[in-house]
Chain A
Amino acid sequence: MPRKTKLADKMQRTLGQAPRSTGELARVPPVTLPVAYPIEALVPQVRLQTPAVGQRATRPDGRLHGLGQTRYIDDLAFPGMLYAKIKRAGIAAARILSIDTSEADAMPGVLAVLTGREIPVNSFGPSLQDQPVLADTQVRHAGDGVAAVAALTEQIAEAAIEKIKVDYEPLPAVFDPLEALREDAPKVHAPAGNVYATKVIRKGDVDAAFARADHVFEGRYATQMVEHVPLEPHAAIAMWDPNGRVTIHSTLGRITLGRSDVSRTLKLPMNRVRIVATIVGGNFGGKNEITQEPVLALLSKKTGRPVKGVFTRGEEFTSTTTRHPFVMDYKTGVTKDGRIIARKVRLVLDGGAYCSWSETTLGKACILSAGPYRIDNLRVEAYVVYTNKTMTGAMRGFGAPQVCFAYESQMDEIAAALHMDPLEIRLLNAFEEGAASPTGQVLHSVVLKASLLKAAERFGWKEPRS
């Protein structure tokens, strides 16, 4: 199909058709072709109308996405740009005895090597600053970075990190959150214990309520670790300029927090750090804090050139935050007509090797752990523990999906045991207008029952199921 594009026709004439000599063709640099797309004013209907509600809206970036013209970080390049790779520990727990980078440093095409000892303040984190940018004395999970290189090409950088020799003294490791709770468990951040945050909620008199319950149900529910898997891997480009300022283009979703973390780790006043964010190719909570940004900045400082780093898909799984696995013990006291009168909840969150957003997750999980149900007597105890695994952090819902799996699973079990309709038992216990949450917040605009009834009607809950 001939494309009616004058621009392409022109390029065909200029570049494509039978060059008069091969020398002429060779002179044409392998640069980009012009990309054709119609340029016209985009004024969506929704922005012409007031009120906008009810009007059809399109995304302001939708056209660029469809044209392939959205520039994500890995689509950017700067003159003289180098490529960085980070060497991963590959061992869950170990003391670092020595790091020998000399062979990598001597490789042609390698312009700089960096280890954790060269990072001015080698720790960061949104609540506890317990995570090193590059592990310098101790490895706490296999995805920890231990050294980095900047090279002319990605291939050279990849080959160079293979030449870095790290001498480890393996340490005992713990991988199960319940084991990590035990007194005799290996301590991930010795000498401190593995429990690094707790939360308790008490409401009413749980023991008395259990004593008068007709039925008591107990169950353990567990969820697994989940990676966000954004289609776009973590990527950043750092440029340290001769004025002592650093500019970082990054896939960070929270650039203000990122800026303070970069400023802290580099020991640089905040006004010397500039973070440039663009459209993020998927975040879901996984791009909420810095990863390699300080490393790239220091490699740029060493080389005087822009340095780009893009995580491999493997690194996305091993070296970026994930969703907390939960072990959830639920004990629920119920009257014989199905009303919940008491609940005891114990949550153990697997925090992985570093805190990241664990405290936020812990809090939200606790508050939501009783479900959207009126329970007058409640006791929730929750712990988040270190293990020698990939750190867990923010991910959509901050703990809400995990506890939902537990309380709704148990709700079904209670309904089955009492021969009740699962919908009926939920309607019986559901929050109503003005109900109080477990932490005493009075809830308004509560439409839970109406929503349940509407949903049941829509998908034919009452109809016989095969």
Chain B
Amino acid sequence: MTDVTAVTMKLNGVTRTASAVPPETTLLALLRNQFNLTGAKLGCDVGDCGACTVIVDGNAVNACLMLAAQADGSDVLTIEGLATLERLHPLQKAFEDNASLQCGFCGPGVILSAKALLDENPDPTQQEIRDALSGNLCRCTGYTKMIEAVQVAARALRAKPDA
């Protein structure tokens, strides 16, 4: 419990180091408490709800189940790294336009799961979208509007891949 370790990662495109990370720290705790990136949420703390989803080296992962030290040397993308000063990411825009989120607590995780899917598969079927979002629970809105938004965003990204 007493040893601390340094964790260096590429975080939303910028190399960052947390110098004194206790070994039991999860990636989620590191992001939220050390880097103040509170977009990833603590919903269940056991990997069921997906509210903590971030993208590590291209894969959507539950940040509550990954130790911070395991992310050392990785490329980590959180919801805060998705938009630019110029524009929202097409997924963020589609989720807004389609009113896909109600309370919004699951939103960052859902959007990042969808991003990991679209990076791999630019033209997913509805079933493939359902499968990709199966690790993200929502209790308010239902999933229909989220799936529609992912389809809208996929079309937008295929039309303008660098958007």
Contacts and interface: CB of A to CB of B under 8 A. Distances in A.
Interface of A: 1, 3-8, 11-12, 15-17, 25-26, 30-33, 35-38, 57-59, 61-72, 74-75, 155, 228-233, 279-284, 310, 312-313
A58 B19 contact: no
B163 to A, nearest CB: 10
Interface string B24-44: 100000001011111111111
B88 A30 contact: no
A38 B86 contact: yes
27 contacts: A3-B81, A3-B84, A4-B86, A8-B13, A12-B14, A15-B14, A16-B16, A30-B18, A31-B36, A33-B12, A33-B35, A37-B83, A58-B99, A59-B102, A62-B96, A62-B104, A63-B92, A64-B104, A65-B107, A66-B104, A74-B38, A75-B32, A231-B138, A232-B105, A279-B104, A282-B105, A283-B103
**At the interface, is chain B mostly helix, strand, loop or mixed?**
loop
A11 B55 CA distance: 21
Interface of B: 11-19, 24, 32, 34-46, 49, 51, 78-88, 91-93, 95-97, 99-108, 111, 137-140, 162
A372 to B, nearest CB: 25
A281 B38 contact: no
Given A33-B11, A67-B79, A310 B104 contact: no
A5 B107 contact: no
Contact of A65 (B12, B91, B101): B101
B16 A33 contact: yes
Contacts of A12: 13-15
Contacts of A283: 103
A65 B39 CA distance: 9
A310 B38 CA distance: 15
Contact of A312 (B12, B32, B45): B45
Given A70-B104, A72-B105, A232-B41, A30 B139 contact: no
Given A11-B14, A279-B104, A280-B103, A230 B139 contact: yes
Contacts of B36: 31-32
The majority secondary structure among interface residues of chain A is loop
Nearest to A8: B13
A300 to B, nearest CB: 20
A61 B141 CA distance: 14
A198 B16 CA distance: 62
Contacts of B86: 4-5, 38
A69 B41 CA distance: 11
B80 A30 contact: no
B16 A68 contact: no
A67 B83 contact: yes
Contacts of B103: 230-232, 279-283
A43 to B, nearest CB: 14
Nearest to A235: B42
B85 A232 contact: no
A256 to B, nearest CB: 20
Nearest to A283: B103
Contacts of A231: 41, 43, 49, 51, 103, 105-106, 137-139
A80 to B, nearest CB: 15
A170 to B, nearest CB: 30
Contacts of B34: 30
Contact of A5 (B17, B32, B85, B102): B85
Contact of A30 (B16, B46, B91): B16
Contact of A3 (B13, B40, B91): B13
Contacts of A62: 95-96, 99-101, 104
A1 B16 CA distance: 19
A283 B105 CA distance: 11
Nearest to B10: A16
Nearest to B11: A33
Nearest to B85: A36
Contact of B88 (A37, A57, A284): A37
B42 A74 contact: yes
Contacts of A36: 81, 83-85
Most buried by A among B32, B44, B100, B138: B44
A4 B85 CA distance: 8
A17 B17 CA distance: 12
B45 to A, nearest CB: 6
Given A71-B38, A313-B45, A37 B85 contact: yes
Contact of B43 (A15, A57, A233): A233
A72 B39 CA distance: 10
Given A31-B35, A231-B103, A281-B103, 18 more contacts: A5-B86, A12-B13, A30-B19, A35-B81, A36-B83, A37-B85, A62-B95, A63-B88, A65-B95, A66-B104, A67-B83, A68-B78, A70-B104, A230-B103, A230-B105, A231-B105, A231-B138, A284-B139
Contacts of B40: 68
Contacts of A281: 41, 103-105
